[in-house]
Structure 1
Amino acid sequence: MRSLAGIGLAALLVTTAVGCAGNPEAAGTPSSTPPQGSASSGPKSPIAAASHSPVPVGHTLSLTGINAGEKLDVTVVKVVDPAHGTDLSSPPPGKRLVAVQFRLHNTGSTTYNDSPANGAKVVDTQGQGFDSAITDTTSAGPNFPATTTISPGGKALGFIVFEVPAGSKVAMVQFALDSGFSTDVAQWKVH
């Protein structure tokens, strides 16, 4: 009987641990990105401590993901601030849109299949981080699709749009694979 009770306790502990791993708040770690399909509700903390020294916009950084074989060369091509939204993408009063164009090159041995917008943030001069916003399009150019798939050796180019307070000055762009959960975090300085 003791072994059945021990197995039951072990199963309960594993279930609790798995539940906490899937829910960063339950594990005591703040969530770094909103679930896909939810709008950014305001300032957020940066993704994590960057593992790369900040580089200027236009430079490429190599990032690895959580799983074996996940590797991307990521370039912030340009920052459009302000970006003008379409009728469906206009920001609320007191906010503006900032569009960041990323180039992703899959240099790994496995297919990249993720939502780049979930792994990106902009950070203002006061250290406030802002998640991507849900927008249709902006005057800057086409956004990445909700899910982007890049085969090994393949490339993709697209914008990720952020909604920031009108008075905030964007100082940094951050990006990480695996919807922002990878600990390999890149940063680009915005002039």
Structure 2
Amino acid sequence: MIVALVAGLSLVLVAGAIAVVVAVGGSTDAGGEPPYDVTFPGTAAPSTAGTRPSRAASPEVAEVGQAVTVQGLHPGVRVAATLTRVVDDATPANPFLKPRDGSRYVAVELTLENVGQEVYSDSPMFGSTLIDSEGRQYQATFGEVKEGVSFGGAVTVSKGDSRKGVIVFEVPASAAPAKFQFGTILGERKAEWALR
């Protein structure tokens, strides 16, 4: 009886894993690539109607202050992310959550505007990466800084609304931040900004 129960549970788990892979791995269009746009402050976003970048195409590298639109897993989920500022050697807000000795905090401030047709609900810190001048990459940390309010665990943004917050990274004292990447957790592409 126990063997049959374990075998049945194993079959259910395998079927569930296959369903997740199929659901997450599904593409949003025939090319499999969600669109991205680089827009400059004060200008309209370029039209992407009927066009999709090829799989080999790489996103443009934006500058601080530029908005980049990324798409989520579903075609109706689109968010315009603007990197508004970078605070190198940010001040810890919590005396119990400080960088380790020999490290410092770098805070990246983003404004996220929902420009899609569906509610944007995601965790910005888990879709973010900081890259230094040596090509090493760092994932976000739960640290908080005095220079801005963290997005926290997740954000939910209705169509036409926006949120502003910081994402904090712990990097070695000698690291020189060079690039920041952001995307939705299940999106296939990430936007990229040059920091120096």
TM-score band by shorter chain is 0.7 to 0.9
Could you tell me how far apart the structure 1 residues matched to 2:190 and 2:100 are? 30
| Aligned CA distance change for structure 1 residues 133 and 154 (closer, same or farther; 3 Å) | same
Other-structure match for 2:43 = none
Report the CA distance between 1:90 and its aligned residue. 1.1
Q: Which amino acid aligns with 1:130?
A: Y
Distance in 2 between the 1:149 and 1:157 partners?
12
Match of 2:96? 88
TM-score normalized with structure 2 length: 0.72
Q: How many residues align?
A: 156
Give the Cα–Cα distance (whole angstroms) in 1 for the partners of residues 65 and 132 of structure 2.
19
- Cα offset, 1:68, TM superposition: 2.6
Question: Which residue is 2:192 aligned to?
Answer: 187
Partner deviation per Cα, 1:124-165 (whole Å, 9 max, x = no partner)? 011111000012x21211111211010000000000000011
**Residue segments in structure 2 that go unaligned for 5+ positions in a row:** 1-7, 24-55
Please give the per-residue CA displacement for 1:48-84, whole angstroms capped at 9, x wherever unaligned: x994111111101111111130001111000000101
The DSSP-based 3-state class of the residue aligned with 2:87 is strand
Classify 1:140/1:20 alpha carbon distance in 2 versus 1 (closer, same or farther; 3 Å). same
State the secondary structure of the residue aligned to 2:96.
helix
1:182 aligned partner, one-letter code:
G
Q: Which residue of 2 aligns with 1:173?
A: 180
**CA 1:94–1:142 in structure 2 vs 1: closer, same or farther (change >3 Å)?**
same
Match of 2:128 among 115, 120, 126: 120
Q: Note the residue ranges of structure 1 that are not aligned, 5 or more in a row.
A: 1-7, 23-48
The percentage of aligned residue pairs carrying the same residue is: 31
